[in-house]
Amino acid sequence: MRSAHVVSVVREAEQALMARLPEGALMRRAAMGLAIHCARMLPRVHGSRVTLLVGGGDNGGDALFAGASLAARGACVRAVLAGRRVHPEGLAALRAAGGRMIDNGPAAASGAPGAQRNFGTHGEGGAPRALITAEARAAVLDADLLVDGLVGIGGSGGLREPYASLAVLASDAPAAVVAVDLPSGVDADTGEVPGEAVRADATVTFGTYKPGLFVDPGAVRAGRVSLVDIGLDPELPEADLVRPQAVDIARLLPVPSAEDDKYRRGVLAVRAGSDQYRGAAVLCVGGALRTGVGMVRYGGGEDVLSQVIARWPEVVGLHLDPRSSTDLGPGRVSAVVVGPGRGTHPANADELRALLESDVPVLLDADALNLVSSSVALTELVHRRGAPTLLTPHAGELARLLPDTDRAEIEAHRLEQATRAAKLYRSTVLLKGSTTVIAHPGERTVVNPTGTPLLATAGSGDVLSGVAGALLASGLSGQDAAMCGAYLHGRAAVLAREGAPISASDLLDALPLAVAEVTTGRPPGRA
């Protein structure tokens, strides 16, 4: 697992570590790691042009000390000073190594001869918000590498000027950008971006990952993220947020043994699809089968059932009109998936009520979520369930599940809203989207690393329901089933067509490849 900690925890850990170290030692550790990563991003260090964007805090100090190291190796290093203050020891180190200073603080920018206005970024009434000196602008635009040391993990509420203008200029510049700890303008705890923010090609973070590096929109601005060990681990408590790796998924995935039979591997009941949305049933059932569930018991209307059996003859089918029957079907059932394409007729609520009153794990998706959001009685049933319950909404569905919340609010505050929903419904919540967030009451939040825009296609959520449902039926907890399901779903999307556009049906053939990749540790096709 890659672990992330919120700012307050990081600050406390840093203070404890610094109390045992010589003054300035922690910053120098961070700066050395930063300098090494910067050097790797350059074709050669000697003669390269490196421009540091330097704020007034420790983040700027890290950049200055790293710049001093690069200057000592022959790089032409210029530091654009954006604030009223500057880290004095870092500035002295850079000067001693031969680096140059360019003052672009508020006073310099507003009165310097040749100052350039803010290149299209305007405030109220179209008035320019800030000034950037011509010298600072030239240093940014002709650099081989830009180092973003404007604002560190303590920044919040959006970038002020001239930081905001420098962030825009750096993001549009031709040089690669490496961010110090996290891109300036990104909230370290949430990934939220309340205004302008640097868009980095790489981020070098220190001691531990920060949640904002894993969650969009912050994650997409961080680029490739590298962690520098500065000795913080012994001071850190359990992570606030984790991002699993393939090895973590492999440890959780059920592996059939010689003693297993189809019942031990899990029996999943699927209540998906309707005359209007027959494909939802086919995709959901396929997702479960291709993930390795022991048996699928499908119940649905006659036409949908025949289509499911035609595509998946191994399914045990039950003619069950959801508008007139709430039967779970004969035989043992380990878990149930309900909702994809099922409909929101009042009689569908009767089926859902019966499932929620059962003692088996239940995954609620799509129409099942819409029914819950419109019924106090169903909501109360979810609250009172003793068996695991997994909700898999997209942002619009979650907005309906949460009072006084709209989709934009969900998208802007994904961590907060997923955690809020998990507590409110006393369930595991898998919030689908650009960053899939998995929250469970009292547990650390999980973010999925395999998300891809390829999954933004009709029916992909139906497949995910089947995948996660199969894992739930195998005996995994709601949170582990959601985490493993999301990971495999994302990998299948990439493997299906080697990164080319896909349809949801393509995921079905790629799921076994994703499972094999995770369990063997090798890309598909390699011995």
**Annotated binding site for K(+): which residue ranges?**
59, 148, 184
**Residue keyed to tokens 């995954």:** 363
CB atoms within 10 A of CB 217: 18
Q: Which residues are annotated as a binding site?
A: 58-62, 148, 152-158, 163, 181, 184, 280, 341, 394, 432-436, 461-462
Residue type, 29: R
CA distance 271 to 338: 5
Q: Are 207 and 185 in contact (CB under 8 A)?
A: no
Tokens of 432: 């689908």
**Residue keyed to tokens 């919540």:** 429
CA distance 100 to 82: 14
CA distance 313 to 422: 37
Q: Which of 527, 421, 526, 424 is nearest to 482 (CA)?
A: 421
Q: Are 394 and 433 in contact (CB under 8 A)?
A: yes
CA distance 347 to 259: 41
Helix 58-72 × helix 25-40 angle, to 10°? 60
CA distance 114 to 503: 54
Q: How many helices (DSSP H) and strands (DSSP E) are in the chain?
A: 20, 20
Q: Could you write out the DSSP letters of every residue in 327-382?
A: ---SS--SEEEE-TT----HHHHHHHHHHHTSSS-EEE-THHHHHHHT-HHHHHHH
**Residue keyed to tokens 């991003």:** 41
Please compute Rg for the chain using Cα positions: 27
Q: Are 435 and 416 in contact (CB under 8 A)?
A: no
Q: Are 505 and 465 in contact (CB under 8 A)?
A: no
HSE-up of 524 (CA within 13 Å, CB side)? Answer: 15
Q: What does DSSP assign to residue 160?
A: P
Q: Which residues are annotated as a binding site for (6S)-NADPHX?
A: 58-62, 152-158, 163, 181, 280, 341, 394, 462
Q: Are 175 and 144 in contact (CB under 8 A)?
A: yes
Q: How far are the Cα atoms of 16, 243, 505, 521 from residue 512, in angstroms, in the given order?
A: 47, 22, 13, 14
Backbone CA torsion sign across 483, 487, 493, 496:
negative
Residue 403, burial from CB neighbour count under 10 angstroms (0-12, 13-18, 19+): exposed
Q: Are 35 and 1 in contact (CB under 8 A)?
A: no
CA distance 47 to 45: 6
Helix 163-172 × helix 134-141 angle, to 10°? 30
